[in-house]
Amino acid sequence: MLTVKQHELLCFINDRLNETGVSPSFEEMKDALDLKSKSGVHRLISALEERSFIRRLPNRARALEIVKLPDAVKAKTKPGKSADVVTLKPKTALPPVANDVLEIPLHGRIAAGLPIEAMEGQTSLSVPAALLGPGEHYALEVSGDSMVEAGILDGDYALVRKADTARDGEIVVALVDESEATLKFFRREGTMVRLDPANRAYDPQRYKPNQIRIQGKLAGLLRRY
């Protein structure tokens, strides 16, 4: 059995998903249930998730999926059906709406100049879904000016699609000697790997292939003003 508040929240989320296809915000849930703080919403969401009534969709902000509903909510059941809950068939995934937002990991700063340490801890960054394509992504804050002629400025957020290989001419995140990372154009030069800047004030960097590990390809940029 659900508590009154759990039942109310489940109904509210279900109604909103049916109306708009988008989960309500925690602020909207708080107001709808007349709660004093969003911490109460978090507790209710966790309780519904533990009992498998809802599911959180990974790497997406405000993304909840209804897994099952009590009979009292799912009124349109077949005659004679007396189960306590009705399990819903998974819906066909819809393409992200224009204002859909994804949460992707934000891994520290990356050099667009000489290599510096990257992957300094982990937080997250909210990114419009329209900026990302298929695959798994993460973000890095750009430090330096060696990629300015490619439109990549100091302080930008590089949106990176995870990959471990690259073609000549692609902008990659390259880990150098397993300790430092840089954002550069990737090129092969004989038996060496060349990382090219996009700023004539900087020289290309050349490494042996075993010194370089590709960690992703540039998929987009996010700039804050």
pLDDT in tens, 158-195: 999 999 999 999 999 998 988 788 999 999 999 999 99
Catalytic residues, by residue number, are 146, 184
- At 183, give phi and psi (nearest 5°): -110, 115
Mean pLDDT to the nearest integer, 61-87: 56
What angle, rounded to 10 degrees, do the helices at 4-20 and 38-50 form?
90
| Angle at alpha carbon of residue 194, lines to 177 and 179, rounded to 5° | 15
| pLDDT (0 to 100) of residue 159 | 92
- Provide the token pair at 174: 């390259």
Q: Is the pLDDT of residue 98 over 50?
A: no
| pLDDT (0 to 100) of residue 91 | 43
Q: Is the pLDDT of residue 89 over 60?
A: no
| pLDDT (0 to 100) of residue 113 | 63
Largest CA distance in the chain: 78
Question: At 152, is the pLDDT very low, low, confident or very high (cuts 50, 70, 90)?
Answer: very high
Question: At 121, is the pLDDT very low, low, confident or very high (cuts 50, 70, 90)?
Answer: low
Domains of the chain in sequence order = 4-87 (1.10.10.10), 101-222 (2.10.109.10)
Say how far apart CA 5 and CA 8 lie, in whole Å.
5
Q: Is the pLDDT of residue 71 over 90?
A: no
Give the count of alpha carbons within 13 A of 124, CB side only.
10
Q: Is the pLDDT of residue 84 over 50?
A: no
Question: At 86, is the pLDDT very low, low, confident or very high (cuts 50, 70, 90)?
Answer: very low
| pLDDT (0 to 100) of residue 127 | 84
